[in-house]
């Protein structure tokens, strides 16, 4: 077959979760998963930021803020319709990922939603990502480098 490249977020290596045991289990290509239903803000979370985003969603819910969390699962094809449907419901969008801010998936999702769902947005699209500098090689420095639960909460509050 064709060559395949796999990019792994190494911060996911120690994560424990349920793994399907059905040998026929497939993740549908091009179909996003709604990880949490919400009404106020749509959060698109990719790979290693899903955990902090879900933590932020739970914390925000305690304050009465209802966020919808979407995991695109596949990047090409990207499920435009799932994202657009959520944005139509919430009117607000934050895209969160661990990649650098420039030339990343978040930029693409923001561009697509600006083209396809601009009239559905009540507020500007926000992107949360790693800064455009070298990734530090130190657990202590990495801790504040990538988007955290607190960064997500602050971004959501900016849109309300």
Give the domains, in start order, of the chain with CATH numbers.
29-159 (3.40.50.920)
Question: How far, in Å, CA of 136 to CA of 80, rounded?
Answer: 33
What is the Cα–Cα distance from 93 to 107, expressed in whole angstroms?
Answer: 12
Q: What is the pLDDT of residues 38-51, one digit of tens each?
A: 999 999 998 889 99
Q: What is the pLDDT of residues 102-150, one digit of tens each?
A: 888 999 999 999 999 999 999 999 999 998 888 888 888 877 888 999 9
Q: Collect all residues with Cβ–Cβ distance below 8 Å to 11 and sequence separation of at least 6.
A: 48, 98, 146
| Rounded Cα–Cα distance for residues 129 and 44 (Å) | 12
pTM for the full model?
0.89
Pair of tokens at residue 100: 């650098």
């Amino acid at each position: 077959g064709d060559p395949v490249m796999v990019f792994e977020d190494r911060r996911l290596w120690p994560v424990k979760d349920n793994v399907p045991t059905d040998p026929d289990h497939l993740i549908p290509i091009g179909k996003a998963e709604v990880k949490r239903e919400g009404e106020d803000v749509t959060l698109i979370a990719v790979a290693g930021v899903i955990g902090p985003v879900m933590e932020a969603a739970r914390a925000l819910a305690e304050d009465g803020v209802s966020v919808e969390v979407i995991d695109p699962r596949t990047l090409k094809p990207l499920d435009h319709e799932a994202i657009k449907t959520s944005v139509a419901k919430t009117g607000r969008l934050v895209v969160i990922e661990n990649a650098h801010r420039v030339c990343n998936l978040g930029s693409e999702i923001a561009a697509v939603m600006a083209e396809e769902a601009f009239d559905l947005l009540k507020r500007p699209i926000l992107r949360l990502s790693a800064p455009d500098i070298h990734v530090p090689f130190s657990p202590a420095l990495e801790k504040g480098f990538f988007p955290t639960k607190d960064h997500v909460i602050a971004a959501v509050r900016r849109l309300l």
